Amino acid sequence: MSSNMVSIIRKKKAGEALTREEIAYVVRGATDRSLPDYQLAAWLMAVCWRGMDPRETTDLTLAMAHSGETVDLSGLDGVCVDKHSTGGVGDTTTLILTPLVAACGAPVAKMSGHALGHTGGTLDKLESIPGMGIALDRQAFIEQVRRIGCALVGQTDTLAPADKTLYALRDVTGTVDSLPLIASSIVSKKLASGAGAIVLDVKTGNGAMMQTEEESIELARRMVDIGRIAGKPMVAVITGMDEPLGSHVGNALEVKEAIDVLAGRVGGPLLEVSLVLGGLMLVAAGKAKNTEDARAGLKEALRSGAGLQKLREMIGAQGGDPRVADDPTLLPQAAHRVPVPALRAGVVARMDTVAIGYAAQSLGAGRVTKDDVIDPAVGLVMRVRIGDRVEAGQPLAVLHANDVDRVGAALEAMQRAVVIGEGPVEPPKLIRALVTAEGVTKEINRNPRQTHELHLTPTCGYGRK
């Protein structure tokens, strides 16, 4: 067994393509732990350096997707649709879209994860809702989607267990930033979770995993291509992460902002990205002829309160207090609010989005080690966006803190993260590209602060059962 793995490592180190059988051998060894970590780590490094062709990446994805249990959602009425983000700061779209898309008639069965690095975790946000449960067994998960149209829960240990093993090694061996490993990790879990169609939100910019638009598009193309080969309809949107998407960063704070969006009190980039992704989800589920009609349906669900009502139902079904949808003050509240003053007058020229995420983490909103306990109340609320003019002393953000000893470092980090310059600054583009099985569409967002449409009609299986 050992010599076989050595030959596989050598083959990939030489830049040769691995066979389906060789890839399956590695995945089995990662699943049953028959292969030692040092050999798996060596293989990951070889892949990181030498890459994988599309066929290899697809074989790895499918092998990991079937390395454990899979969820069968075929018994649900209609096409069950899922959405995945590659991770960002202030990105609360899952909490908005899960009930909003369900309110428009498309079933949403969503499995999410905890925080990773500087990005927030959907499960941590959900757990800030008093009483909210994130652990449902497979049958209860499916039954809830059948009954109310949506469920938002944690991924089980039996879902794509090979990926869990390999990702833990990637995290400590410097092999996270590999396109085939990223694509196979994301898509394997999505295939195992059983959705009929998947919409991907691939972030780009200084706060994203892929910091250039070209890298983000390539990642999206690889994932969409895997979906095509696997017979799973996928489409990806490239969205900007050069500044936080929403204004709230932190678990209960982001739940509050999601509620505010569903209640019609908040617009801006967070709402816009939600409408773009939600429109594609409804087209994928066959609930709209095109994204223009889908967008109109989503706006009506916001106007009528149907999206907010679906959130109440989902919270109540999972043991949480549905009153938070009407009174967000029932969410955990921090004891202290500390403004972050601008050190000079000028224009917000750029933001270090990763540093903003880590500033919220340093207040207790995330984990530095796996044993850390998250404080659901803390975080920060941005008061400016790139391109805004500010005066000296004007708040750039407001820190929400419980431990005053953590405030000083977070305040200084925020003042460094928000860079103030001279003269006018063009705000960063919000929607960068659309990636489908047919190709890449760019230049779809001329003005990031105004609404814009993505026109997509059902093709190549989209919108079909």
pLDDT in tens, 13-43: 999 999 999 999 999 999 999 999 999 999 9
Task: Tell me the DSSP string of 215-252.
Answer: HHHHHHHHHHHHHHHHT--EEEEEEE-SS-SSSEESHH
Assess whether 110 and 187 both reside in one domain.
yes
Torsion sign across C-alpha atoms 73, 77, 79, 84: negative
Assess whether 107 and 229 both reside in one domain.
yes
* 52 contacts 180 by C-beta, under 8 angstroms: yes
Choosing from 114, 125, 189, 248, the catalytic residue is 189
Q: Report the pLDDT value the prediction gives residue 86, as an integer from 0 to 100.
A: 87
Tell whether 405 is covered by a domain: yes
Tell whether 459 is covered by a domain: no
DSSP conformational letter for 397:
E
End-to-end CA separation in angstroms for the chain: 43
Assess whether 291 and 338 both reside in one domain.
no
**Residue 269 clears pLDDT 70, i.e. is over it:** yes
- Is 185 designated active site? yes
Assess whether 168 and 267 both reside in one domain.
yes
* Range of the structural domain that residue 283 is part of: 81-327+429-442
Cα–Cα distance between 289 and 329 in angstroms, integer? 39
Q: What six digits make up the tokens of 82? A: 């899922």
Cβ of 36: how many Cβ atoms within 10 Å? 12
Tell whether 63 is covered by a domain: no
Read off the pTM.
Answer: 0.88
Q: Report the pLDDT value the prediction gives residue 369, as an integer from 0 to 100.
A: 62
Tell whether 178 is covered by a domain: yes
- Is 455 designated active site? no
- Is 163 designated active site? yes
Q: Report the pLDDT value the prediction gives residue 138, as an integer from 0 to 100.
A: 83
Assess whether 189 and 138 both reside in one domain.
yes
Assess whether 89 and 217 both reside in one domain.
yes
Assess whether 300 and 342 both reside in one domain.
no
Average pLDDT, the chain: 89
Tell whether 62 is covered by a domain: no
Tell whether 189 is covered by a domain: yes
Residue 30 CB-half CA count within 13 A: 30
> In total, how many domains does the chain have?
3
Cα–Cα distance between 436 and 220 in angstroms, integer? 9
Assess whether 238 and 362 both reside in one domain.
no
Assess whether 32 and 164 both reside in one domain.
no
Q: Report the pLDDT value the prediction gives residue 446, as an integer from 0 to 100.
A: 40
**Residue 459 clears pLDDT 80, i.e. is over it:** no
Tell whether 451 is covered by a domain: no
Q: Report the pLDDT value the prediction gives residue 1, as an integer from 0 to 100.
A: 44
* 379 contacts 244 by C-beta, under 8 angstroms: no
Which of the pair, 88 or 396, is modelled with greater confidence? 396
* 266 contacts 95 by C-beta, under 8 angstroms: no
Choosing from 67, 85, 112, 185, the catalytic residue is 185
Choosing from 163, 201, 242, 375, the catalytic residue is 163
pLDDT digit string, tens, across residues 168-216: 888 778 888 789 999 999 899 889 888 889 999 999 999 888 889 999 9
Cα–Cα distance between 124 and 132 in angstroms, integer? 11
- Stretch among 159-173, 240-254, 302-316 having the lowest mean pLDDT: 159-173
Alpha carbon distances (Å) from 295 to 94, 280, 302, 459: 17, 9, 11, 18
pLDDT digit string, tens, across residues 188-197: 988 988 888 9
Tell whether 141 is covered by a domain: yes
In this structure, what CATH number is given to the domain that contains residue 40? 1.20.970.10
Assess whether 403 and 320 both reside in one domain.
no
What φ, ψ does residue 209 adopt, rounded to 5°? -65, -45
* 242 contacts 428 by C-beta, under 8 angstroms: yes
- Treating both helix axes as pointing N-terminal to C-terminal, what angle do 353-360 and 407-417 enclose, rounded to 10 degrees? 170
- Is 170 designated active site? yes
pLDDT digit string, tens, across residues 42-83: 999 999 999 999 899 999 999 999 999 888 888 888 899 999
In this structure, what CATH number is given to the domain that contains residue 166? 3.40.1030.10
In this structure, what CATH number is given to the domain that contains residue 361? 3.90.1170.30
pLDDT digit string, tens, across residues 292-301: 999 999 999 9
Assess whether 44 and 180 both reside in one domain.
no
Assess whether 372 and 300 both reside in one domain.
no
**Residue 225 clears pLDDT 80, i.e. is over it:** yes
pLDDT digit string, tens, across residues 105-142: 999 988 876 655 566 678 889 999 999 988 888 888 89
Cα–Cα distance between 214 and 153 in angstroms, integer? 32
Q: Report the pLDDT value the prediction gives residue 452, as an integer from 0 to 100.
A: 39
